[in-house]
Amino acid sequence: MKTIAAIATALAEAGISIIRISGPEAFSVADRVFAFPGHPERKLAECAGYTVHYGHIVEDGHRLDEVLAVVFRAPKSFTAEDVVEFQCHGGIYVTKRILRLVLDNGASPAEPGEFTKRAFLNGRIDLTQAEAVAALIRAENDYALSASVQQLSGATFRAVKEYREVILNETARIEAALDDPEHLSLGEEYPSALAELLTPVRDGLIALADRFDEGRVVSTGIRTVLVGRPNAGKSSVLNVLCGRERAIVTDIPGTTRDTIEERVRLGDMTLLLMDTAGIRQASDVVEQIGVERSFAAAAEADLILYICDTSLPLSEDDRTLLAKLPAKPLVVLMNKSDLTPVTTEADVRQAGANGTFVTVSAKTGEGFDELRDVIAALFAQGKIRWNEQAALTNDRQRDAVRRAAASLTAAIGSAEAGLPEDFYTIDLLDAYAALGELTGETIEDDLADRIFEKFCMGK
């Protein structure tokens, strides 16, 4: 296997930068460019693992930089290979110059995610942990960070491993009985016993797949849709939450004709905000399409922010909209508190709103701190779902779990129907293979390549 190298830190001016070298020739490559001051005979190849050494990067007898060289010996490194990391000064030019020197002395450029891919291929981590590395890097809030760290620690792998062991044990039992029926009999009660054994495994997988939405909420953000009648102040609320003029705001009803999406950090949470067209009976074809998209967005939302213009009485459009809202967590923003109120919370509740109410003014900014606290409370109470059990965080993982659960359902059905035992093994092996794809124990090379190519360079 070739020895690879890359810049492992962001390519920007900083206190330090790190150049990582990994592979069978890591020490020899590093020793060609690194020198111990006053001890030219010393080599990093002779140093113990988990040690740090001061020295110079030298090119053609000229000192490029003074660095710290960190030594890791296989298999006790991230990649399970010999690794040397140079911590140099964080200038862009000097960092790139040192990397070029390392490459000129025998290393090959690392592909995006290649260090983590090697950790996976060398058995250092499983595929769920590898994907957790990418999620950890991209984490935008405390919840995403916590979920990534939990998955990196192997929580998902441990849950799946227990399920795979049950499936493998029963498959082996059936295959042994089929191969040697004279000495091993499953017995008449085995089909019902198998169905009883597999049912909690199947149910556990279904629950794991159902928690995908929780993992998505944590890792990508809470899908939050702003709805209300035209001119209620939805776009103004969006602009306040974004901290800039993201949406066009006018006094003309129906200005927003299509959905507008924006990612917003609100305290420890990330909201995927979507401003929608004002919902009313519209004769304009384009506006009517916007209204239909508004209802579709609300149906897929994790959280609905209903914007109510308190300076006007509730209209039939308000009542119709409130009656059609899906059963999702709802926060009603009683907007325009800077004006004399005409509509009260009691009026909105009587019209069918059953949620949390917050009085705000998109003009003055009043009430938005309270809104942040309300959403945080909904999240903490589990109304916007999230718990710290093993969770799936991408579509690939969910697909593998769903296929495994479907195969176990088929196996249970075959057992309950009294079909021959070889019917069971087909579905059991399919479930075992699907879970192997989840953890990476049975994964095709092209799929592994596709997963790791999405990683950042140097990781």
* Residue 383 pLDDT: 54
Question: What is the chain's mean pLDDT, rounded?
Answer: 80
- Domain ranges within the chain, ordered by starting residue: 4-110, 134-211+392-452, 223-380
Q: Please say if the pLDDT value at position 150 is more than 60.
A: no
What pLDDT, in 10s, does the model give residues 276-328? Answer: 654 444 445 444 555 666 677 778 788 889 998 889 998 887 888 888 888 88
Q: Which CATH number does 4-110 carry?
A: 3.30.1360.120
Q: Which residue has the higher pLDDT, 378 or 14?
A: 14
Which has more pLDDT, 84 or 436? 84
Residues 6+ apart with CB under 8 A from 372: 266, 267
Q: How many angstroms separate the CA atoms of 88 and 101, rounded? A: 13
pLDDT beyond 60 at 164: yes
On whether the CB atoms of residues 56 and 35 are closer than 8 A, the answer is: yes
**Distance (Å, whole) CA 105 – CA 344:** 74
Across the range 179-202, mean pLDDT stands at: 85
What pLDDT, on the 0 to 100 scale, is given for residue 428?
93
What's the pLDDT at 277? Answer: 58
Residues listed for the chain: 459
Contact present, 228 and 308 (Cβ < 8 Å):
yes
Residue 75: asked if its preceding bond is cis (omega within 30°), the reply is yes
What pLDDT shows up at residue 252? Answer: 38
The answer to whether 308 and 329 have CB atoms below 8 angstroms apart is no
CATH of the domain spanning 223-380, picked from 3.40.50.1240, 3.40.50.300, 3.90.230.10, 1.20.120.400: 3.40.50.300
Q: pLDDT above 70 covers what percent of the chain?
A: 76
The whole-number pLDDT of residue 268 equals: 63
Instruction: Render pLDDT for 225-275 as a digit per residue (tens, 0 to 9).
Output: 888 887 788 878 888 887 755 443 334 344 444 456 777 776 666 778 887
DSSP per-residue codes, 167-193: HHHHHHHHHHHHH-TTT----TTHHHH
CA gap 281, 290 in Å, rounded: 11
369 or 48, which is more confident: 48
150 burial class (0-12, 13-18, 19+ CB within 10 angstroms)?
middle
134-211+392-452 CATH, one of 1.10.8.80, 1.20.120.430, 1.10.3720.10, 3.50.50.60: 1.20.120.430
Share of the chain above pLDDT 90, in %: 30
Alpha-carbon span 397 to 165, nearest angstrom: 19
